Amino acid sequence: MTTPPSPSNENDPRQSAWSPPVSRMKVTDVPAGAMNLNVDGRQPVSPLQGFGQMWQKTFQVRLTGVEMTPAEVMQVWKENFPKFQPPENRFYPTMSGLKPGEVVLIDAKVPALPGTPSVLPVSTGVLVLYADDTTITVMTPEGHPESGWNTFSTYEEDGVVIAQCQSLCRPNDPLYEFFNRFMGSSGQQDKIWIHVLTSLAAHFDVQGQVTTSKVLIDPKVQWGQAKNIWQNAAIRTVVYALGTPVRWLRK
């Protein structure tokens, strides 16, 4: 039998890598250019609260020849995080940067149909759930296309630094699940992480070959979470965009 945990590890400095308690996301500092929709007041959600199938996707690139430690590579990654995103996926960290508890706003554009240009706006964001020397994990809010976590990490294997993006997520509602399964959204998301890792490798003058691994963790959908569609960030962003002329005339 065990006794209640001793407080011996309560002061471990690594614990500050975790976000402070957050029940609802709060946007206090809106970077210039960011739309700031669908984030403020939303609850962060884990893979357990989403609707669709739960996938774990892992993308890796070997930074062969880069004479840096994993922590040094991560520092570069953090400092250039928005720059490594594809043009249609704009990240807006606050002035504080990618620190635990900070909110990063995202303005993305997605294609309406597979193979068509990315024109539909989606304004959303993520909470920095965890950040240490070699790892950043962000957690999505209600209404985000995915419910869960994306982890960006670096580590060393056989003397080579590996950079990795790993998502553990479900599509947040039935519409996102439909687009994921039948309209190519899943592949679109994959392209984003491949772009990020390719850009990171290119920053170090490495022609990186990104490897991908996908594991279906839970094939079931959670019908009890179908109601999440009311907070769908894509729908709300399009409605907001359509209302822009009306808001402009009222000014």
User: Cβ of residue 128: shortest distance to other proteins, in angstroms?
Assistant: 10
| Per CB under 8 A, 63 contacts other proteins | no
| Per CB under 8 A, 165 contacts other proteins | no
The count of chain residues that interact with other proteins, using the rule CB under 8 A, is 42
Binding residue for other proteins, selected from 25, 34, 45, 194, defined by CB under 8 A: 45
Which structure tokens are listed for 56?
A: 């774990």
| Per CB under 8 A, 21 contacts other proteins | yes
User: Cβ of residue 160: shortest distance to other proteins, in angstroms?
Assistant: 10
Contacts of 45 (CB under 8 A, 6+ apart): 139, 140, 141, 142, 144, 147, 148, 172
Binding residue for other proteins, selected from 38, 85, 94, 137, defined by CB under 8 A: 137
Select from 105-113, 146-154, 193-201, 240-248 the region that touches other proteins (CB under 8 A).
146-154
Binding residue for other proteins, selected from 113, 119, 217, 239, defined by CB under 8 A: 217
| Per CB under 8 A, 5 contacts other proteins | yes
| Per CB under 8 A, 126 contacts other proteins | no
DSSP the chain: --PSPPGGGTT-GGGGGBPPP-SS-------TT----S-TTPPEE-TTS-SS-EEEEEEEEEETT--S-HHHHHHHHHHTTGGGS-TTEEEE--TT-S-TT-EEEEEEEEESSTTS-EEEEEEEEEEEEEE-SSEEEEEEETTSSEEEEEEEEEEEETTEEEEEEEEEEEESSHHHHHHHHHSSHHHHHHHHHHHHHHHHHHHTT-----EEEEEEEE----GGGGGGGGG-HHHHHHHHHHTHHHHHHH-
Binding residue for other proteins, selected from 10, 246, 249, 251, defined by CB under 8 A: 10
User: Cβ of residue 90: shortest distance to other proteins, in angstroms?
Assistant: 24
| Per CB under 8 A, 211 contacts other proteins | no
User: Cβ of residue 131: shortest distance to other proteins, in angstroms?
Assistant: 9
Residues in touch with other proteins (CB under 8 A): 1-7, 9-10, 12, 14-15, 17-19, 21-22, 44-49, 54, 56, 129-130, 132, 135, 137, 139, 149, 151, 153, 155-158, 166, 168, 217-218
